[in-house]
Structure 1
Amino acid sequence: MIKRILLAALLIWPALASGHSLSDSFIDLSVENQQVSGHWLIAVRDLELAVGVDQNMDRQVTWGEILQQRDAINEYALARLQLTMAGAECPLQTGEFQLEQRNSGVFLYLPLSGSCSSPGELAIDYNLLFDIDASHRGILNIAYNSESYLRLFSPSEPTHQLEQTGSAAALANLWTFLIEGVWHIWIGLDHILFLCALIIPIMLGRSRAERPGEPSAAASSSAIFVDIFKVVTAFTVAHSITLILATLQIVVLPARLVESVIALSVAVTGLNIIFPIFRGRSWQIAFGFGLIHGFGFAGVLGDLALPTHLFISSLLSFNVGVEIGQLVIVAVLVPVLWLLDKTALTRRLTTIASGIVITGFGLLWLVERSLPMLLS
């Protein structure tokens, strides 16, 4: 049992190293005349965590091992996705397994089909992995009653009923991706550390002391908040540009390259906390690296095949959610740093400790993400 847990941890490590959502599955369904069809994408690493696919425990899940565990996978998955119409269950079946490469990893493609016995209100219950990984999310794209719905399943909201139509359904769709945007940055540790590394020197006065024309580190509160505003705005504008470009497939960069540069951005900005490198150019650095972070944010939308008429609204809603999540992080960080800036000792300790921790994470991620690219 201990070996199995350790193996699962090793298999999930690439997701941890990415700094993004640890676990998402994607469900695409169509319900017409009480007939259900579609597919379900479940990350192979999640199946190993839940079912134990890697039978020889060599840290490599092969296609043969997946096929050997086909019955166990079917039993596990179908027990955690249930559709009911007019209160009666719509039994689901899976088709032939396939593997599919997405931005966030390798997924098992499960074709789904089923039928409902009587027409009525449709409800979907989802609880894949919730008992194992509280960060897991299920993203549903479903066409039903001439409406398209986007819904997000989480441990706090495992069931959705599709009773809304028209404007109510559209607003619910927007809300789904706004929340996903907030969640995406809140569990994106690399994005958070990058933002923190830019704000910490401003709040603790180090970067301001080094700025030409400002002889004192004790800058006015208004000047500090102007600098923070510049950094946050530059980061927002930059990653919004590339998020849109990447999601629309106008500019596409290799995922491994994007993740490696994001890791580099964390390491460099972490180092700047201890040894001032930017010297008053924090907002330019935020903009430059923010362009790369936008490609990282685009991953979840790239993995979800959205209907054309919902694509732009979902993209914009997701981006607004990212900005809201970002502002919440800043709103929490600034008062904490303000308190730590009261004495020279706490300021110095915070500077050194945060610089070491953030740089360490950045270097660790950089090695983890770039080494496979260099060896290939």
Structure 2
Amino acid sequence: MKILRTHLSRIFCLWLAILFLPATVFAHSNSHTVLHLEIKDDQVASLSLEIDLLDLAQILPLDHNRDAKLQLQELNQSREVIQAYILQKLQFNSGEDACAMRFAEKIAGIKYRENIPLVVLNAIINCTSVHPVSGMHFSLFDEIEQSHRGVLNVSGSGNTGQLIIGQGSHDLKLQKTAASQQFISFGHEGFLHILEGYDHLAFLLVLLLPLLRLGEIRTQWWKVLGIVTAFTVAHSITLSLVALGKISLPSGPVEIVIAASVLLAAMLNIVKPRMNVGWKIAYAFGLIHGFGFAGALAEISANETPGLMSLFGFNLGVELGQLAVVLVMFPLMMLISAKQKLVRYFVPVSSLLVGILASSWILERVMNNI
């Protein structure tokens, strides 16, 4: 009996460990370098760079008067230092031949994206080869531990598309950015986003908790499928509509409602333990969660309008990540559902803890929007 209790307690702790993954992911904000590359002819391309000034200031001494404010005049004083850093971290090539990058005499200016200052630089890329720019090395800010992405927009010479470049050092081929590379790039980002999207996963997993009361979960797999499918269909609808510019909602209220949906689902598990409406709640609030996914897609792409391949890739990545989590959880759910004495306490206690966490999210998000 003692061995059984020990076994059950380990199952319970494992489940809670999965449910309560570090919630600090919400404090994380991705920074971006946006690159607009226009291939004009076989030997020349123009480049416009929008670089996160806060990241740049972590690496280079830019604040000459030490007033904790960076002005355009100070940036122009540091122009050569900034350009040298970029040349070290960003190179273009045409086949085996390196291309030369020449910057404009002055920094173009400072712009803001969601209150984040970006320094704008323009450059001309000259290739000695008769072939156009075909490759790029990108390692900007790879020395910073936080997540920094590059967003590359390519146009001209019959090559149009957008790529997301992750943290670290990357060597990219630019000849086929329009289709498969876009799809894979955004699919990878969608997969990572759902794994970091703790509120979305908490909502889905809390909806699955009541199924444990129905006996061994392996005989209820179709109900698991129904909840997951309803959530998938709903958030795919609003994600697509928002990304295509058909509808929009302000992100602040959306994030509050998403947190509230987690709280509602958790509380229903306690006050209405026999109510079998999981798929209906999954669909209804899944529509709101879709707005959250759309906001993440906009952030990842630095508010550049995504193409259809980018949208489909991101959405598929989200679904694959969601499916991976459910498949990992299912064996654990099977173990728990086979012990109905454990389920009697497990479902309400887990729901209560998730509800408390969701309440803290609501409070935090309300305060952030005041």
Q: TM-score normalised to the size of structure 2? A: 0.76
For residues 164-179 of structure 1, what are the structure 2 equivalents within 5 Å?
A: 164=176, 170-179=179-188
Q: Does 1:339 align with 2:339?
A: no
For residues 128-147 of structure 1, what are the structure 2 equivalents within 5 Å?
A: 128-133=140-145, 135-147=147-159
- Structure 1 residue 39, shift from structure 2 partner: 3.2
Q: How far apart in 1 are the matches of 2:210 and 2:62?
A: 46
Q: Is the 8 A contact 2:218 2:334 kept in 1?
A: no
- Structure 1 residue 42, shift from structure 2 partner: 4.3
Q: How far apart in 1 are the matches of 2:262 and 2:52?
A: 27
Q: Is the 8 A contact 1:238 1:287 kept in 2?
A: yes
Which residue number in structure 1 is paired with residue 312 of structure 2? 316
Aligned residues: 338
Unaligned runs of 5+ in 2: 1-22
Distance 1:296 1:43, change over 3 A: farther
Which residue number in structure 2 is paired with residue 7 of structure 1? none
Aligned CA RMSD, in angstroms, stands at 3.7
Q: How far apart in 2 are the matches of 1:287 and 1:57?
A: 53
For residues 48-67 of structure 1, what are the structure 2 equivalents within 5 Å?
A: 64=70
Q: How far apart in 1 are the matches of 2:39 and 2:316?
A: 30
Q: How far apart in 2 are the matches of 1:57 and 1:273?
A: 55
Which residue number in structure 2 is paired with residue 158 of structure 1? 170
Which residue number in structure 1 is paired with residue 227 of structure 2? 231
Instruction: Provide the secondary structure at the position in 1 that maps to 2:160.
Output: strand
Which residue number in structure 1 is paired with residue 113 of structure 2? 101
Which of 32, 39, 43 is matched with 1:31 structurally?
Answer: 39
Q: How far apart in 2 are the matches of 1:268 and 1:26?
A: 39
Which residue number in structure 1 is paired with residue 98 of structure 2? 88
Instruction: Provide the secondary structure at the position in 2 that maps to 1:130.
Output: coil
Which residue number in structure 1 is paired with residue 263 of structure 2? 267
For residues 115-264 of structure 1, what are the structure 2 equivalents within 5 Å?
A: 115-119=125-129, 120=131, 122-133=134-145, 135-155=147-167, 158-164=170-176, 170-202=179-211, 204-205=212-213, 217-218=214-215, 221-222=218-219, 224-264=220-260
Q: How far apart in 1 are the matches of 2:350 and 2:127?
A: 59
Instruction: Provide the secondary structure at the position in 2 that maps to 1:132.
Output: coil
Q: How far apart in 2 are the matches of 1:320 and 1:370?
A: 31
Question: What's the CA shift string for 1:11-51, capped at 9, x where partnerless?
Answer: xxx994367x7444433221223333343444566456656
Distance 1:194 1:258, change over 3 A: same
Instruction: Provide the secondary structure at the position in 2 that maps to 1:91.
Output: strand
Residue identity opposite 1:189 in structure 2: Y
Q: Is the 8 A contact 2:215 2:340 kept in 1?
A: no
Q: Is the 8 A contact 1:15 1:22 kept in 2?
A: no
Which residue number in structure 1 is paired with residue 122 of structure 2? 112
Question: What's the CA shift string for 1:78-136, capped at 9, x where partnerless?
Answer: 5433323343143253732322335xx63515243222231345221222343433644
Which residue number in structure 1 is paired with residue 19 of structure 2? none
Instruction: Provide the secondary structure at the position in 1 that maps to 2:144.
Output: coil
Instruction: Provide the secondary structure at the position in 2 that maps to 1:150.
Output: strand
Distance 1:77 1:279, change over 3 A: farther
| Percent of aligned positions that are identical | 30
Which residue number in structure 2 is paired with residue 5 of structure 1? none
Distance 1:111 1:56, change over 3 A: closer
Q: How far apart in 1 are the matches of 2:318 and 2:186?
A: 10
Q: How far apart in 2 are the matches of 1:276 and 1:57?
A: 60
Residue identity opposite 1:249 in structure 2: G
Q: Is the 8 A contact 1:150 1:176 kept in 2?
A: no
State which drifts further: 123-132 or 225-234.
123-132
Q: How far apart in 1 are the matches of 2:24 and 2:90?
A: 24
Question: What's the CA shift string for 1:160-219, capped at 9, x where partnerless?
Answer: 022448xxx5222222222222222222222222222222332x22xxxxxxxxxxx326
Q: How far apart in 2 are the matches of 1:57 and 1:316?
A: 46
Distance 1:352 1:37, change over 3 A: farther
Q: Is the 8 A contact 1:142 1:150 kept in 2?
A: yes
Question: What's the CA shift string for 1:293-330, capped at 9, x where partnerless?
Answer: 1111112443548998x722322222222212211111
Q: Does 1:297 align with 2:293?
A: yes
Q: Is the 8 A contact 2:216 2:334 kept in 1?
A: no
Q: Is the 8 A contact 1:18 1:259 kept in 2?
A: no
